[in-house]
Structure 1
Amino acid sequence: MSGCDCGSHHSGPALKPIEEALDFLLARVHAVSETEQVATEDALGRVLAEPVASLVTVPPWDNSAMDGYAVNTADLQDDSTRLPVSQRIPAGVTGESLQRGTAARIFTGAPVPSGADAVVIQEVCEQDGDDVVVNDAPNAGANIRLAGEDIKEGEEILSVGTRLGPQHLGLAAAVGVADLTVFRRLKVAVFSSGDELVMPGSELGPGQIYNSNQYTLGGMLAALGCEVIQLGIIEDTFEATCDVLARAAEQADLVVASGGVSVGEEDHVKPAVEKLGSLDLWKIAIRPGKPLAFGHIGKTPFIGTPGNPVSLFVTFNVFARPYILRSQGVKDGAIPTPMTAKAGFDWNKPDKRREYARARMELNESGEAVVTLYPSRSSGVLSSVAWANGLAIIPERELLKKGDPVQFLSFHELMS
């Protein structure tokens, strides 16, 4: 798991712009086409493969938006009006037609009886025995939700390519849809290269470290709804690397490797992929995470990320995440949208690479969103990612002063 991700300026090919590399990746997406039907309650995080049309009209009838009294506004005067209460209509009960000159006690969600054209909220009414005194006459239509004002029967409510969140499941249930047709999960095979790596729970030997990348990478893939195939740690030999790549390509829709994609003597992923298929290897104008590989093992796409844990984390979210979401059939939202906040720091060291700095966004005493940075820029400090709640994006060759606007990518969006 070698390879340099330092900040020094080595000679070599020009750095590829981030947008150019991302466009290259996304132009080569072949999304899964196989589908399956799942229960609506089990569809969280899945990608919709068929549009969903409403089975019903929502609301199905005019209903009360408030607790109060259903009235006919023609029976009300400008000043207080006393009306006998002729019926009581809770939610789930259909009342009788409203008799003129009376009011119906009604509750939120209950059908508005025919003959009523408004609901008076209970806060402006006084109950007096079997009568109600209306102290503030409403306009016709007040506090009534009209039939079909939300959804019409047969109307499309969810489109193909929607990545289903809780709100989408609730909407499908609200129109009576019990099952949804979704694309099957993307199968992603993962392995780590490096003789220095051992799994947690084992005793560390001289020069060894625990394999954190397997857990970071596996967790990010699981958060995206992928079916993760863990192939473990592969010894640093060309033969072993070729073997695992071939096995991975047979089992998965995508192969992702951490480490071994540079050009050192112990970096065998690059020549192994080139032997089994094709490979593009770039130095990208991003920090951390300059080296990134994309290619194919046979027909199976391959993404190789840096081995340093923070570089892996950043390059996965900037490049692999959009590629994976598009491969799953997601139409919109694959590329995250940063928010803008105030810089709580000075940036006096502009770089020719765009910086994705580990950062924390919090509200100050005035309620303004302010971004602070982790003090270390090292790509080996994984604790910085646990400390942060997002990434501050600092453009190439830019200086920032405290109070300047800065873009911020929230982990809440990246990890969901």
Structure 2
Amino acid sequence: MIGFDEALAILARSVTALDSEIVPLDQVAGRFIAQDLQARYDAPRCDVSVMDGYAVRANSAGQDRPLQLTSESRPGAPFAGHVAESNAVRIFTGAPVPKGADIVIMQEYAQASGDTVRFSEGWGPARHIRRKGSDFREGERLLAAGARLTPQAIIAAAAADRAELDVAHRPRLALIATGDELVPPGEAHRQPLAQPDTASHAVAALASRMGAELVLHVRGRDDREALATLAAQALEVADCVVVTGGASVGDHDHARPMFAETGMELLFSRIAIKPGKPVWFGKAGSKPVLGLPGNPGSALVTARLFLQPLLAAMQGGDPMAQIATMPLRLGADLEANGSRETFFRASATPQGLVPVSNQVSGAQAVLAEASWLIRRPPHAPAASAGCLVEALPL
């Protein structure tokens, strides 16, 4: 068996990013940008007010005399003149600050009467002005190639004044669930020995979250010839193939043998992690093929650990960034670890991360509670509530 870091490194260097396409801004959510994105101009483009109030010279506002109101400045309709020492300009949030003014006094401190205004004490020292270019400068890189277009990133892309973005193609994913016992959810109650196919639906949801397009989702019985047909079909229509189940070495485990006629090169199999020891990875030509365990808990965890980095890499993203951990506090005691690196499913509580009550690979109900993975090295000692542990979002 190989370690988790070694397996992920093999996967990362074996994947080539897909080509890119130009997509309208309102269709890029969740995609990966293919090129660095630079700002077209300074933001703000000039000094602007961050408050409704009055633009004046600070030295004149402190004098005990009214100032003459000369005009107003609104977003899109600035005051083009110059603010003299005895003048004030009514100004609104987002409006350009007129020349000559060096402070905006909030309207709460103003007493306007006719065409004059005076100010009460307490209006300073804040200037309430956003300076030109204080957000970003023309030509500044706002997004790096490979960045995922989250809602936050889309704000930056729109601020760069881009109506379209160059993004990586969405990976076309084929998903094959293997197992004689599997039936579509909704059918299992009619057959006493049947099990609903839960694992592949979770994997499909994770792949969709990562921007993949599910072009084939099928269940195959434990028959090598039938599965070989599905393998060939999957490679024909998809950029990437994922198989759940059949990853062990029993007489009816055909997940790897089903690709024998495709010339698939096996790059790793069996990893020293828990859950997920049977995970395997290969390439059929240029197309990645990932094998995940059939147990739902194992399938979900290993999809998070391997499929998410794989799909990121296929879209020009950083696969290693997908499994970056952060120190978080434990909200309950955690048992000592065994000989394999372990990823404990955990829920987030006000007290910290709490491992779910059932860590068995086949447990399904507790997965609804799990939102984090706690990463523990081999032979790690027991940890008490309040300790810091390394974790990543599930």
Q: TM-score, normalised by structure 1?
A: 0.87
Percent of counterpart pairs with the same letter? 33
- Cα distance in 1 for partners of 2:65, 2:50 equals 22
Q: Deviations over 1:15-41 (max 9, x none)?
A: 321111111111111111x22111111
Distance in 2 separating the partners of 1:131 and 1:85? 5
> Does 1:409 find its partner at 2:392?
yes
Aligned to 2:177: 192
Tell me the distance in 1 between the aligned counterparts of 2:335 and 2:319: 36
1:65-115 per-residue CA deviation (whole Å, 9 max, x = no partner) reads 2222111224244x6443222222233221132233011121111111112
Q: Which runs of 5+ in 1 are unaligned?
A: 1-14, 365-369, 412-416
Q: Tell me how far apart the structure 2 counterparts of residues 29 and 332 of structure 1 sit (CA, whole Å).
A: 10
1:92 to 76, 79, 93: 76
Other-structure match for 1:9: none
Q: Which runs of 5+ in 2 are unaligned?
A: none
Q: Secondary structure at the match of 2:156?
A: helix
The CA distance in 1 between the partners of 2:244 and 2:218, in whole Å, is 11
Aligned-partner Cα distance in 2 for 1:347–1:153:
51
Which residue of 224, 230, 247 maps to 2:210? Answer: 224
Q: Which moved more, 1:113-122 or 1:312-321?
A: 113-122
* 8 Å contact from structure 1 (residues 119, 143) kept in 2: yes
Question: Counterparts of 2:318 and 2:370 in 1: how far apart (Å)?
Answer: 29
Contact 2:147 2:317 in 1 (8 A): yes
**Counterpart Cα distance in 1 of 2:268 and 2:145:** 33
1:17-36 superposed matches below 5 A: 17-32=3-18, 34-36=19-21
> What is residue 393 of structure 1 aligned with on the other side?
375
1:354 counterpart (341, 352, 376): 341
Structure 1 counterpart SS, 2:203: helix
Distance in 1, matches of 2:389 and 2:139, equals 45
Give the Cα–Cα distance (whole angstroms) in 2 for the partners of residues 281 and 197 of structure 1: 27
- The residue identity in structure 2 corresponding to 1:181 is D
Q: Secondary structure at the match of 1:38?
A: strand
**1:340 equivalent in alignment to 2:316:** no
- Does the 8 Å CA contact 1:73/1:137 hold for their aligned counterparts? no
- Residue pair 2:216, 2:234 contacting (<8 A) in 1 also: no
Q: Does 1:108 align with 2:90?
A: no
Q: Where do 4+ consecutive residues of structure 1 move more than 4 Å?
A: 136-139
Q: Distance in 2 between matches of 1:397 and 1:353?
A: 8
Residues 350 and 396, structure 1, Cα contact 8 Å, conserved in 2: yes
Contact 1:162/1:332 (CA < 8 Å) preserved in 2? no
Deviation at 1:180, TM superposition (A): 0.9
Cα distance in 2 between the residues matched to 1:239 and 1:99: 88
Task: Measure, in 2, the Cα distance between the counterparts of 1:319 and 1:25.
Answer: 8
1-side partners of 2:48 and 2:298: how far apart?
55
SS at match of 1:291: coil
Cα RMSD of the aligned pairs, angstroms, is 2.1
SS of 1:190's partner is strand
The 1:165/1:347 distance shift into structure 2, 3 A limit, reads closer
Are 1:157 and 2:146 matched, yes or no? no
Q: Which moved more, 1:67-76 or 1:36-45?
A: 67-76
C-alpha contact (below 8 Å) 2:331/2:349 kept by paired residues: no
Give the Cα separation in 2 of the matches to 1:171 and 1:225. Answer: 20
Moved more, 168-177 or 332-341: 332-341
Higher alpha-carbon deviation: 170-179 or 339-348? 339-348
Q: Is the 8 A contact 2:142 2:160 kept in 1?
A: no
Q: Tell me the secondary structure at the aligned position of residue 49 of structure 1.
A: coil
Letter of the aligned partner of 2:356 in structure 1? Y
SS of equivalent residue, structure 1 residue 272:
helix
Q: C-alpha separation between the residues in 1 aligned to 2:347 and 2:40? A: 45
1:281 to partner: Cα distance = 4.5
Q: Does the Cα contact within 8 Å between 2:73 and 2:89 map onto a contact in 1?
A: yes
